[in-house]
Amino acid sequence: MATMNEAATALAAGRRGLGRDLAGLAVILVLAAIGYLLFPNNLALLTRITAIALLVLSLDLVTGYCGVATLGHAALFGSGAYAAGIAAVHFGITDPLLMVAAGILGGALAGLACGIVILRAHGLPQLVLSIALIHLFHEFANKASSWTGGSDGLAGIAPDPLIGLFAFDLWGRTAYVFGVVLLAIVFVLLRLVVRSPFGMLCRGIKEDPIRIRAMGASPTIALLKMYVISGAVAGAGGALNAVSTQVVALDSLSFTLSAESLVMLVLGGTGSLFGALTGTIVFMFFEDLVSAANPFHWLTMVGALLIAVVLFTPKGLYGTVAAILARRRGAGR
Amino acid sequence: MQTIFSIAVDALAYGMVLFVISIGLSVTLGLMRVVNLAHGAFAMIGGYIASYAARDLGLGYGAAVLIAVFGTIVIAIPIERLLYRRIYGQPELTQVLMTIGITFCIIGIANYVFGPTLKTIPLPPSLEGSADLGFRSIAVHRIFAIVCGLAVAGALWFAIEKTAFGVKLRAAVDNAAMAAALGVRTEVVYAVSFAVAVGLAAFGGVVGAELLPVEPYYALRYMVTFLVVVSVGGAGSIPGALAACLLLGGIDTTGRYLMPEFGEFFFYLAVIAIVCVFPRGLAGRMK
């Protein structure tokens, strides 16, 4: 009887999860359509938001689900961007889908390398390792200027029309639709990953690694796998950025981008894919608004926003709203 | 030989400045377990105040240093009361975000008040020029920085190892709850060490202004360096911090002299190697 009940609950939970997947997908597509209608002249910003959303999603995988503190996640994003750019410029692979594939591969490899180093430590040393890594990647890309263009950036990326039909036009419509579709696919895949037994294992490691080890699983191997997945997602974001802007700049491997992506994640709420998306959208629009209104006070405003988030909504925007809703629902019952 | 000698002097001076600034971070990190990324911002505030006092008010160098140290402490106290209090004992991620936020605010405000230009702190005539050692001459300011570093290290060693306050401090670092149960007023210990840490940061910011120039992005540019030094040295350990500063200062300066095109490549490579080999720092006592 009990097992039947459990099975029924599990089934219901599974169904609810599937329903939320579809709801999330619908929300992404509706928001994308609204963005397209509201800002037809600013599709470049919207495409950039989709690319950064992929980065923040991938950061959520390691920070929110695995509890790895990192201030160097742009290393994976930038590696993906440079992999796609180098494939296009030096090897003539200009098909956008293949470029994204190159980005995913580059990001995954960078994820493997970063994971091996970062997972050796915990707490503050881990943070320091991640900072050192992002600087190392940055310096390396700066030095290998025959491949990466150094501080001038890697220019001259000219992607072919998407599946031979849709050229990347001046207004960035193709790039935007491409980005949204990529984001939607990645989002659904990640929902499946974080709900899978493997995703649960990673959450378990975040809560109590010793217990997971006692249960016979290897925390390091599981986290390393997650890091590679995360690298692939971030690499896809980097490749999308390379395809849409047709240039890869050194700042895609910067400490600032890493710190900003962490800020976006925490602003939205860690440990939830919806939170990652919320944080990215809110932060990027806020950045666009404030830096257009008053570029001098931009940093002050971001700082104040950060302090306010830490003080008033420690669970992030999405986390806080979700908690309030859950309390309402609990009270309603 | 000449190059080796000038590398050694510069590395020593740079390491000592790093030490003066980051030892405060090391103490607060070991004691209060706060990953304070805004520490560099306090050093920057010190530099700005000293520059203002010396250039615009026309005060002497010594007076400027004193005003900078106390002014920075006065600025830091309300920040500690209002903001830091709330992140004691919180997860590292929260602390990192809060202190990055504080850093961004301070940079923005400094940029607004003092403008984006580089600020200099005029040196008194006695610190300008170079001293002749017979076979080689070195800038007096470098010697001054090295002496300051040694003096700070000595004074801190004395205060922590030989005084009653040092005993309380060490007790609070090892086990704050037990120390409080034994009648140590940890609140007071925390407040005093925070003030000392901030004061030392400001002092280092002023003394090191020749090596680490004061400008609005100072706080962001060196934030990582200070944190790295503390982490490599092991939080809360003076000998560890000293060793880390000299080692990393040496690597960084040597890299800059011999292979300037590689920038900070070797610095960060060394950091990764050291952290991997000594995950708790060179003299780690942090759990």
- Give the span between the Cα atoms of B144 and A70, in whole angstroms: 38
Count Cβ atoms below 10 Å from residue B219 Cβ, excluding itself: 25
Residue A72 CA, distance from chain mean position: 13
- Give the span between the Cα atoms of A179 and A167, in whole angstroms: 14
Bridge partners, residue A162, by sequence: A166
Residue B193 CA, distance from chain mean position: 14
Question: Does B136 or A102 have the greater pLDDT score?
Answer: A102
Residue A121 gets the label, from left (phi > 0), alpha (psi -120 to 50) or beta, of beta
Interface with B, mutate which of A306, A309, A312, A317 (most B CBs under 10 A): A306
Q: Are B112 and A300 an interchain contact pair (Cβ–Cβ within 8 Å)?
A: yes
In a domain, residue A146? The reply is yes
Q: Are B272 and A303 an interchain contact pair (Cβ–Cβ within 8 Å)?
A: no
Name the residue facing B108 among A121, A303, A311 (closest C-beta): A303
Name the residue facing B83 among A120, A133, A307 (closest C-beta): A307
**What SS3 state is found at A71?**
coil
B101 has a chain A CB within 8 A of its CB: yes
In a domain, residue A329? The reply is no
B87 has a chain A CB within 8 A of its CB: yes
Q: What is the pLDDT of residues A268-326, one digit of tens each?
A: 888 888 888 988 998 888 888 887 777 667 778 888 888 888 888 777 788 888 888 88
The tokens describing A78, both together, are 């930038």
The structural domain count of chain A equals 1
Residue at A69: amino acid letter: A
Q: Which of residues 208-267 of A touch B (CB under 8 A)?
A: 255, 259, 262-263, 266
Residue at B190: amino acid letter: Y
pLDDT computed for residue A105 by the predictor: 94
In a domain, residue A226? The reply is yes
Mean pLDDT of chain A: 83
- Give the span between the Cα atoms of B69 and A66, in whole angstroms: 42
Q: Residue A221 sits in which domain range?
A: 12-253
The tokens describing A162, both together, are 């998407």
pLDDT, average across residues A195-220: 87
Cβ B141 vs Cβ B127: under 8 Å? yes
Question: Does B40 or A13 have the greater pLDDT score?
Answer: B40
Confidence of residue A229 (pLDDT cuts 50, 70, 90): very high
Vertex B108 angle, CA B105 and B110, to 5°: 105
φ/ψ of B132, rounded to 5, equals -95, 120
pLDDT computed for residue B34 by the predictor: 82
B8 has a chain A CB within 8 A of its CB: no
Confidence of residue A1 (pLDDT cuts 50, 70, 90): very low
Confidence of residue A112 (pLDDT cuts 50, 70, 90): very high
In a domain, residue A267? The reply is no
In a domain, residue A197? The reply is yes
Count of alpha carbons within 13 Å of B34, Cβ hemisphere only? Answer: 25
pLDDT computed for residue B134 by the predictor: 63
pLDDT computed for residue A82 by the predictor: 92
Confidence of residue B135 (pLDDT cuts 50, 70, 90): low
Question: Which residues in chain B are closer than 8 Å to A63, comparing Cβ atoms?
Answer: 93
In a domain, residue A166? The reply is yes
**What SS3 state is found at B115?**
coil
CA-nearest of B212, B237, B234, B196 to B40 is B212
B280 has a chain A CB within 8 A of its CB: yes
User: Is the pLDDT reported for residue A54 higher than 90?
Assistant: yes
B262 has a chain A CB within 8 A of its CB: yes
CA-nearest of B19, B12, B42 to B238 is B19
pLDDT computed for residue A60 by the predictor: 92
B58 has a chain A CB within 8 A of its CB: no
CA-nearest of B77, B74, B83 to B102 is B83
CA-nearest of B4, B38, B8, B5 to B194 is B38
Report the gap between the CA of A121 and the closest CA in chain B (Å).
6
Q: Regarding beta strands B130-132 and B137-139, do their DSSP bridges make them parallel or antiparallel, or are they unpaired?
A: antiparallel
Report the gap between the CA of B167 and the closest CA in chain A (Å).
26
B103 has a chain A CB within 8 A of its CB: yes
pLDDT computed for residue A15 by the predictor: 61
User: Is the pLDDT reported for residue A2 higher than 50?
Assistant: no
A43-52, A74-83, B119-128, B187-196: range with lowest mean pLDDT: B119-128
CA distances from A274 to A28, A53, A265, A270, B118 (A): 10, 10, 10, 9, 43
The tokens describing B2, both together, are 């000449």
| In chain B, % of residues over pLDDT 70 | 96
**What SS3 state is found at A100?**
helix
Confidence of residue A5 (pLDDT cuts 50, 70, 90): low
CA-based nearest residue in chain A for residue B116: A296
CA-based nearest residue in chain A for residue B261: A143
In a domain, residue A41? The reply is yes
Question: Which residues in chain B are closer than 8 Å to A142, comparing Cβ atoms?
Answer: 263
User: Is the pLDDT reported for residue A51 higher than 80?
Assistant: yes
| In chain A, % of residues over pLDDT 70 | 91
pLDDT, average across residues A178-184: 90
User: Is the pLDDT reported for residue A13 higher than 60?
Assistant: no
B44 has a chain A CB within 8 A of its CB: no
pLDDT computed for residue A10 by the predictor: 52
Q: What is the pLDDT of residues B237-253, one digit of tens each?
A: 788 888 888 888 888 88
A135 has a chain B CB within 8 A of its CB: yes
- Give the span between the Cα atoms of A66 and A220, in whole angstroms: 11
Name the residue facing A299 among B83, B104, B281 (closest C-beta): B104
Question: Does A75 or A171 have the greater pLDDT score?
Answer: A75
Distance linking the first and last C-alpha atoms of chain B: 43
Q: Are A305 and B263 an interchain contact pair (Cβ–Cβ within 8 Å)?
A: no
pLDDT computed for residue B274 by the predictor: 83
A156 has a chain B CB within 8 A of its CB: no
pLDDT, average across residues B127-144: 74
Q: Are A124 and B268 an interchain contact pair (Cβ–Cβ within 8 Å)?
A: no
Question: Which residues in chain B are closer than 8 Å to A69, comparing Cβ atoms?
Answer: 92-93, 96
- Give the span between the Cα atoms of A111 and A227, in whole angstroms: 5
In a domain, residue A332? The reply is no
Cβ B50 vs Cβ B206: under 8 Å? yes
- Give the span between the Cα atoms of B253 and B269, in whole angstroms: 14
**What SS3 state is found at A300?**
helix
- Give the span between the Cα atoms of B229 and B234, in whole angstroms: 8
pLDDT computed for residue A120 by the predictor: 83
ipTM: 0.79
Q: What is the pLDDT of residues B223-239, one digit of tens each?
A: 878 888 888 887 777 88
Name the residue facing A120 among B97, B232, B279 (closest C-beta): B279
pLDDT, average across residues B244-268: 82
Q: Are A139 and B265 an interchain contact pair (Cβ–Cβ within 8 Å)?
A: yes
DSSP assignments along B81-110, one per residue = HHTGGGGTTS-HHHHHHHHHHHHHHHHHHH
pLDDT computed for residue A81 by the predictor: 92
Q: Are B101 and A310 an interchain contact pair (Cβ–Cβ within 8 Å)?
A: yes
Neighbour-count burial of B178, counting CB atoms closer than 10 A to its CB (0-12 exposed, 13-18 middle, 19+ buried): exposed
User: Tokens 């001076």 appear where?
Assistant: B13
